[in-house]
């Protein structure tokens, strides 16, 4: 299993939205600054997250993105799936054709690992992560760094 940058960044950005949610739209430039992710890359990810119904865009001054559901209702697995990522640990995509159409010796081991990872990620929500002390401590540090550097994109 290899979770790529796309999946990691999507989860990071969505968690950033959950911990910084004050009811107002969140500007992607602010997320990019806090998480040190390219703004153009975030725009691509958020297009997919919007199509998956996890976020909605708000246009105009003070615009940005809002979560469409409570963070407690959004699992990490849904975020990863929204950006077309997979947690499949098999080399055959779970198709059992690992060796020229036949199942390899370790197929069932990797398939079961994939199922456990999927189950774990299905049962972890953005809301749970946002309430963790380590996450809140990091979010506070990131907001302070952002303000101290005078790079708050959504400030009037």
Task: Give the start-to-end residue ranges of the domains of the chain.
Answer: 5-148
Neighbours of 139 (CB within 10 A): 17
The correct CATH number of 5-148 out of 1.10.3720.10, 3.40.50.20, 1.10.10.10, 3.40.50.970 is 1.10.10.10
What span, in angstroms and rounded, lies between the C-alpha atoms of 35 and 14? 11
**What pTM did the predictor assign?**
0.87
Residue 119 has pLDDT above 50, yes or no: yes
User: What are the pLDDT digits (tens) for 57-115?
Assistant: 999 888 999 999 999 999 999 999 999 888 888 878 778 887 778 889 999 999 999 99
| pLDDT computed for residue 134 by the predictor | 97
Which tokens belong to 145? 């760094």
Which tokens belong to 29? 């430039």
Could you tell me how many residues make up the chain?
156
Is the CB of residue 130 less than 8 Å from the CB of residue 71? yes
Query: Inter-axis angle of helices 5-19 and 28-35, to 10 degrees?
Result: 110
Residue 116 has pLDDT above 70, yes or no: yes
What span, in angstroms and rounded, lies between the C-alpha atoms of 156 and 154? 6
Instruction: Write down the mean pLDDT value for the chain.
Output: 90
Q: Which residues contact 61 (CB under 8 A, 6 or more apart)?
A: none
């Amino acid at each position: 299993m290899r979770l790529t940058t796309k999946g990691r960044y999507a989860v990071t950005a969505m968690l950033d939205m959950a911990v910084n949610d004050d009811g107002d739209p969140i500007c992607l430039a602010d997320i990019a600054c806090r998480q040190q992710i390219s703004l153009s890359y975030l725009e691509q990810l958020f297009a997919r997250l919007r199509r998956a119904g996890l976020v909605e865009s708000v246009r105009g001054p003070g615009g940005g993105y809002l979560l469409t559901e409570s963070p407690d209702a959004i699992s990490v697995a849904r975020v990863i799936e929204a950006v077309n990522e997979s947690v499949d640990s098999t080399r055959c995509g779970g198709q059992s054709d690992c060796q020229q159409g036949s199942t390899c010796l370790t197929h069932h081991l990797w398939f079961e690992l994939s199922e456990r990872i999927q189950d774990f990620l299905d049962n972890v929500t953005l809301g749970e992560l946002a309430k963790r002390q380590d996450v809140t401590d990091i979010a506070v540090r990131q907001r302070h760094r952002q303000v101290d550097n005078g790079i708050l994109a959504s400030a009037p």
